[in-house]
Chain A
Amino acid sequence: MSKSFESVQVVRDGLKKVNYLADDGIASVVYLAQRLGKPILVEGPAGTGKTQLAKSVAEMLNARLIRLQCYEGLDESKALYEWNYKKQLLRIQADKSSDSWSEVHDDIFSSEFLLTRPLLEAISSTDPVVLLIDEVDRVEIETEALLLEILSEYQVSIPELGTITAKQIPMVFLTSNNTRELSEALKRRCLFLHIDYPDMDREKEIVLTKVEGITENLADQIARIVRSIRQLDLKKAPSVSETLDWARTLILLGIDHIDAQEAKDTLHILLKYQTDIAKAAKELSVDK
């Protein structure tokens, strides 16, 4: 990467400028990752800003974001590269007679016939990029092997073409919702960052930053209520996205101070399960 961060604080400020509120942990690990040229494996509950972190770092660096969304069944041809069979076929048929087979062979296995997928694209890019491998826990453990070469050597080997090495080391983020244990090999290659629900002050900042037209007072109240709710033993605690949804709803309803009735009426935006809603209503004594 061309320019290097000067300090952790610079990262924190830079992220804040693009509306991402980082804590000490997040800022330190992003700083370190760039210094050491290592990928970051970001893990944590859903909706806590893992994907957003990669996007925001890209924005901060003025870099292009290349995203590989993982899913069950993702394979090499979708993650790395694929030969463009149709085009190859056309080329072969176009001059059946004239060229020798070896010439044709060399030709059709050249980069002209290569379909670049996100991983290869990130490696071969000449402009600054941030690579996001999103929800890596969704691919089978065997598929992880596809990533290892990229993550340690920043290169891709294509049998017909040779090895393509990165011209610059991109920042790489992998995210995981922790639905399965990732392989030791993968974890060893990455810096590990656990993003949990933000503390009250940071959540308030996030709400203030992201929700248009909100008052300091309301943001404060929202952050407090959400903190209290997260302390309960719930099936699913509210995430940051749900906090933001709730804040936006309250604004739409023209509410600037939450009382018991309004809290009760809108709890379903924060919580998804009936039992959780009932429990929270009871605990906050708003269920009358």
Chain B
Amino acid sequence: MPVLDLMSGFIVELRNAGLPVSLTENLDAMEAVKEIPIEDRDAFKYALAATLVKSQNHWRAFETIFEVYFSLRGPEYSIAQDGKENDEMWREQQDLQMQGEGKGQSGGNMDGLTPEEIAQMLMNALMNGDQAMMKALAKQSVQRFAGMEPGRPVGGTYYLYRTLRNLDLDNMLDKLMEANKQQAAEELTNLEQRLEKDEFESRIEQFKQEVEAEIRRKLVADRGAEAMAKTLRKPLPEDVEFMHASRDEMQSLKKALQPLTRKLAARLARKRRHGRKGPLDFRNTVRHSLSYGGVPADPKFKYPRPAKPELMVVADISGSVAAFARFTLMLVYAIQGQFSKVRSFVFIDGIDEVTSYFKNTEDISDAIHRVNTEADVVWVDGHSDYGHAFEVFWERYGKDINSKTTILLLGDARNNYHATGSWVVKEMQKRGRHVYWLNPEPKSYWNTGDSVVGEYGSFTDGVYECRNLRQLEGFVEKLV
């Protein structure tokens, strides 16, 4: 298919995935592809990205869609009905490649090999960092082990799993390290071992990606770009739901959070510096005007804006909402300079203050780690009990709340049908400046089952849906 035809489907899919591609950018992309031949695949990809992706957070989504729409094509990627025929094709291809590289010997013909022998070849290739061989083996492994059949609606992960299991890739790192130890002339120092390990890990990762790419190419050949893109579509980092993030998504969330906190901190600091002056202080101005012969040359203003508020964060850290609590705490501590004081409390059915973990440390993630491992939050059975946690909170810390205190309550308010203890929230509101509730669940789930967020909410200044970074950022910005 000519490039320009591929482009329109490609851009539609970018928009479907949530990338904000404007008309100008669309036109720029059309110009860009005229300048770089598609055969120069990497350059072509980066050129397209430069016109269409204006935020690093969107790069992964872009890359996936690119790989699908501009997938390498050709008969070698078809999932043939007849394995034999395909093996034949592969061998020819392989022979050609080997001749081309001037090494016709080993590896040219792999059909006779057992999975163990292939795994052994892979190990050698990884050991030596032999890129060409790693690629060839990735192709061959998918061919032999993935068990792909045309038209089957199975996702790529299943094929990936089957392929890697046959190669025993899980144990590959240990094997490589062991072999490396045997080969070394003298004993490796700890530092050397660590560096070797990181190198092997990066090669294994590269191999995995090659296998994944090969599987994807075959799936695209089988099902077509549009269907594949739809299967692979994932939310952008800022739209990933805290409560359902996969491990991978957690990683990208964490990555996205860092620049976000930095931006937020910078923006707020700037706001504060440029904060408008208070109203004119008439008396003070007149008093000073005396030294200018009665001309009010030096206007005086009243003390600007009220003092910074104190913040108390009270967070449910049980199972499904733990990630949400973590991200919120990170965000709050990243901008703690905006408050005169920040205190934090975490609970499941018991409650504990964790403020000290965040003191004297530059490392917020370290503090969060301590929250997860050291805080004393289990009272009876480790199932959420907001009522008990709130009552203990009130007993111990209620007296510390005053008219400057803003309180953030974090959680899904799923209380396992315990007593709610909502009177505590009512008291908080009476005594404090503001009380807000942040709920990581979609609004449509609120007050269903054992969720009692409505009852708590009636005593707050607002309940906010915070399912993802986008919403959380929005709230935090409003807060200050």
Contact = CB atoms under 8 A, between A and B. Distances in A.
Given A36-B28, A275-B362, A187 B191 contact: no
B28 A275 contact: no
A27 B202 CA distance: 24
Contact of B42 (A24, A178, A181, A184): A24
Interface residues of B, number: 40
Contact of A225 (B40, B195, B259): B195
B189 to A, nearest CB: 6
B25 A194 contact: no
B15 interface: no
Contact of A179 (B28, B40, B266): B266
A28 B22 CA distance: 22
Nearest to B199: A224
A181 B263 contact: yes
A72 B35 CA distance: 38
A235 interface: yes
A178 B259 CA distance: 7
Interface in A203-235: 221, 224-225, 227-228, 231, 233, 235
Contacts of B190: 260, 284-286
Interface string A108-139: 00000000000000000000000000000000
Interface in A37-95: 38, 40-41, 43, 72
Contact of A224 (B46, B51, B198, B365): B198
Given A35-B35, A179-B263, A259-B189, A24 B50 contact: no
Contacts of A274: 362
B262 interface: yes
B363 interface: yes
Chain B interface, DSSP helix/strand/loop, else mixed = helix
Name, among A187, A228, A274, the residue most crowded by chain B CB atoms within 10 Å (CB to CB). A228
Contacts of B50: 28-29, 32-33, 40, 191-193
Given A38-B28, A285-B190, A285-B191, A8 B43 contact: yes
Interface residues of A, number: 51
Nearest to A221: B195
Interface in B28-65: 28, 31-32, 35-36, 40, 42-44, 46-47, 49-51, 53-54, 56, 59
Interface of A: 8, 24-25, 27-29, 31-33, 35-36, 38, 40-41, 43, 72, 140, 178-181, 184, 187-189, 191-194, 200, 221, 224-225, 227-228, 231, 233, 235, 258-260, 263, 273-276, 279, 283-286
23 contacts: A8-B40, A8-B43, A24-B46, A28-B43, A32-B35, A40-B50, A178-B263, A179-B263, A180-B266, A188-B24, A188-B54, A192-B50, A192-B51, A193-B50, A200-B202, A224-B195, A224-B199, A228-B194, A235-B363, A258-B191, A263-B191, A275-B362, A284-B190
